[in-house]
């Protein structure tokens, strides 16, 4: 367990690393992808031929004796909710675990959000909610998020994505942008995924290890332990297991599309900044 000095150092390193990358993400990409909640009044001016007559301010027009119109700007403030699956399988990985990847991409999203004056919330979840930071603005709030992501000790190794999604629907009544960061190694959450996708702007970041995506067909039997149940068994890669892995990935993608969500596959060997940039570009092309 880290002491106070080590925690401060770890948070600072994460902040420095993330801030360098955020500049790439906020060069118009993040801002243009996520629309604000609507339009808000900012000023009035005299009517000019061609202006939309529906924007005429009749009260000001009556007082002035000639027409004035209302001017509006896009209401940019958004609520961003970052949901992180911290079950035992998050510790799986070679040079970089799924949890390390999740922390990095969560902080990229969080710093991009506050750079655009959006509010950010965080939920850490196993088979129960383990931490909930309600959406707020400001650097101190983001640094607290970083600290919690680094030091949180999970209470359970099990997974329940359905509970996580249902919990979000309970606490977030207004529409928000939701990033679900998970390996999606669970079942029976599709209905809840569709509910969230219907109400919120849902982006699923499916984090997997390179080994899981491209399982070698020729390897000697490996003694492996299930991170969530603790069961130990021999694992023998073969063509059938390789096919099952590809089907699992395809199932995840189809479930997200059916739910009206965006799906991003993030490998432990991937560059999170590059993957988010590709996602932003795809979203902009769909407009």
- Reported as a single tens digit per residue, the pLDDT across 72-102 is 655 557 899 999 999 998 888 777 888 999 9
Q: Is the same domain home to 64 and 83?
A: no
Distance of alpha carbon 27 from alpha carbon 108, whole angstroms? 13
Q: Is the same domain home to 244 and 265?
A: yes
- Reported as a single tens digit per residue, the pLDDT across 194-216 is 999 999 999 999 999 887 777 66
Higher pLDDT, 27 or 285: 285
Residue 241 sits at φ, ψ, to 5 deg, of -70, -40
Q: Is the same domain home to 146 and 273?
A: yes
- The pTM (predicted TM-score) of the whole model is 0.79
Q: What pLDDT does residue 76 have?
A: 57
Higher pLDDT, 191 or 46: 191
Query: What total number of domains does the chain contain?
Result: 2
Higher pLDDT, 256 or 274: 256
Q: Is the same domain home to 110 and 61?
A: no
Q: Give Cβ neighbours of residue 115 (< 8 Å, ≥ 6 apart).
A: 22, 26, 30
Q: Is the same domain home to 158 and 52?
A: no
Domain with 16, as residue range(s), is 4-31+77-286
């Amino acid at each position: 367990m880290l002491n106070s000095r080590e925690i401060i150092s770890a948070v600072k390193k994460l902040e420095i690393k993330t801030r360098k990358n955020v500049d790439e993400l906020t060069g118009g990409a993040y801002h243009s992808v996520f629309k604000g909640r609507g339009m808000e009044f900012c000023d009035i001016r005299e009517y000019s031929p061609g202006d939309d007559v529906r924007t005429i301010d009749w009260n000001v027009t009556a007082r002035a004796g000639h027409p004035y119109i209302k001017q509006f700007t896009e209401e940019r403030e958004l609520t961003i909710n970052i949901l992180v699956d911290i079950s035992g399988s998050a510790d799986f990985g070679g040079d970089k675990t799924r949890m390390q990847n999740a922390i990095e991409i969560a902080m990229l999203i969080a710093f991009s959000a506050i750079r655009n004056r959006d509010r950010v919330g965080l939920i850490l979840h196993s088979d129960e909610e383990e931490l909930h930071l309600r959406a707020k603005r400001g650097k101190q709030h983001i640094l607290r998020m970083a600290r919690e992501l680094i030091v949180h000790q999970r209470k359970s190794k099990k997974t329940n994505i359905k509970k996580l999604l249902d919990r979000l629907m309970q606490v977030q009544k207004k529409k928000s942008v939701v990033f679900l960061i998970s390996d999606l190694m669970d079942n029976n959450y599709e209905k809840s995924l569709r509910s969230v996708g219907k109400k919120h702007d849902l982006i699923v970041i499916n984090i997997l290890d390179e080994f899981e995506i491209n399982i070698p067909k020729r390897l000697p039997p490996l003694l492996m332990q299930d991170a969530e149940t603790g069961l130990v068994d021999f694992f023998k890669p073969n063509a059938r297991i390789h096919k099952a892995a590809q089907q699992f990935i395809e199932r995840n993608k189809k479930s997200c599309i059916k739910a009206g969500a965006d799906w991003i596959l993030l490998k432990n060997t991937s560059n999170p900044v590059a993957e988010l940039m590709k996602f932003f570009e795809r979203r902009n092309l769909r407009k």
